[in-house]
């Protein structure tokens, strides 16, 4: 399948697309990932110069090395997340392979790689990525859509609860008064 056809299929016909790529090789999936990741990094760099012109302009070497580091970081994390997600799906009795999990993450990130750099549109791209994760997990790991949704919703709920608890602790009476004293002292120093 051609590159642009893959993009169109994953965005427009994800259910059929994830059925089709079951036999795709690691090399093809990784190439797709690299091209989209590089595109995304480049677009982030360009838009940051447009929307934040006051930021320091680094030279060509610094820009390229910074983008190279970002690409390395993205590649590193896609493999780490693949391993974590594979174990989590296995707990839910998923039947797919580690390569299937890699495909899930790579192809589900298509909306974010293509549109995540656009202000406000990036939020919608993340929502669609979440939907694609559920569809892809269901297809490639042969589990129900409901189970597939739970695989992603449960960690989100746990994370939200942790943030809520941390927020409540931060705003507790003692912590709040200490925070206000620090702010008041800081304001007094700078007067």
Provide the residue ranges of all domains of the chain, joining segments of one domain with +: 3-143, 144-191
How confident is the model over 50-72, as a mean pLDDT? Answer: 71
- Residue 105's nearest CA partner among 68, 141, 69, 71 is 141
- Identify which has the larger pLDDT, 49 or 157: 157
Cα–Cα separations (whole angstroms), residue 102 to 18, 71, 174 = 12, 17, 46
**Helix, strand, coil percentages in the chain from 3-state DSSP, rounded to 5:** 85, 0, 15
For the cut 70, the answer to whether the pLDDT of residue 176 exceeds it is no
pLDDT the model gives residue 68: 86
**In this predicted model, what pLDDT tens digit does every residue of 153-169 receive, in sequence order?**
999 999 999 999 887 77
* Rounded mean pLDDT, 161-181: 77
Rounded CA separation 31/27 (Å): 6
160-187 mean pLDDT:
77
pLDDT at 175 (0 to 100): 65
- The pLDDT assigned to 48 comes to 76
Pick from 32-41, 61-70, 137-146, 171-180: least confident: 171-180
SS3 6: helix
Please indicate, yes or no, whether the overall pTM of this predicted structure exceeds 0.85: no
Give residue-wise pLDDT tens across range 84-138: 999 999 999 999 999 999 999 999 999 999 999 888 899 999 999 999 999 999 9
Q: Residue 187: which pLDDT band, with cuts at 50, 70 and 90? A: confident
């Amino acid at each position: 399948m051609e590159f642009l056809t893959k993009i169109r299929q994953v965005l427009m016909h994800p259910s059929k697309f994830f059925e089709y790529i079951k036999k795709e090789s690691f090399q093809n999936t990784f190439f797709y990932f690299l091209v989209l990741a590089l595109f995304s990094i480049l677009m982030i760099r360009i838009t940051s110069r447009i929307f934040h012109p006051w930021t320091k302009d680094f030279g060509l070497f610094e820009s390229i090395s910074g983008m190279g580091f970002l690409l390395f970081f993205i590649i590193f994390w896609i493999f780490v997340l693949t391993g974590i997600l594979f174990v989590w799906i296995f707990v839910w009795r998923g039947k797919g392979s580690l390569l299937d999990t890699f495909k899930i993450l790579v192809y589900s990130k298509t909306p974010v790689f293509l549109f995540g750099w656009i202000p406000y549109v990036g939020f919608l791209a993340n929502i669609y990525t979440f939907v694609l994760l559920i569809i892809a997990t269901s297809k490639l790991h042969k589990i129900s859509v409901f189970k597939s949704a739970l695989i992603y919703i449960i960690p989100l709920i746990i994370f939200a609860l942790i943030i809520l608890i941390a927020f409540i602790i931060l705003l507790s009476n003692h912590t709040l008064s200490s925070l206000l004293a620090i702010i008041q002292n800081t304001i007094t120093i700078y007067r």
